[in-house]
Amino acid sequence: MKIVYHPLMSESYDRTPAGAPGRLETSVEILSKHPDYEFVEARPATEEEINRAHAPGHIERVKRDYDSTRENLLYQVATLAATLSVIYDHADEFNSEILKFIG
């Protein structure tokens, strides 16, 4: 099984449990040693892809509100996490992205 992941996803980007330090390290460590799992690097979702799921005002708020913290890490992580979930609503593009990962 392929797991879409990026090291930035493990960074602490806010004070909520979702952004807490240490939340992914154990899972990544265990799964990376298992022969049935392969990690592939996530790519950032484009603004066009993000606009399919979120209003432009929301996107701008996230960019603006977090711009001064850790080089806007929340926005960077959100674009990585959003890639496949946003594309999922568009079957042709989703299948194309999946084929890139399974080669």
Domain count, the chain: 1
8 in Cβ contact with 73 (< 8 Å): yes
Record the tokens describing residue 11, joined without a space: 């960074």
Burial of 31 (0-12, 13-18, 19+ CB in 10 A): middle
Record the tokens describing residue 42, joined without a space: 């996530």
Per-residue pLDDT of the chain (103 residues; tens, 9 = 90+): 888 888 888 776 667 777 777 778 888 889 999 999 888 888 888 888 888 878 888 888 877 766 555 567 777 877 887 766 554 555 555 556 555 655 5
**Amino acid in the structure at residue 42:** A
pTM exceeds 0.75 = no
Full residue range of the structural domain in which residue 69 is found: 2-102
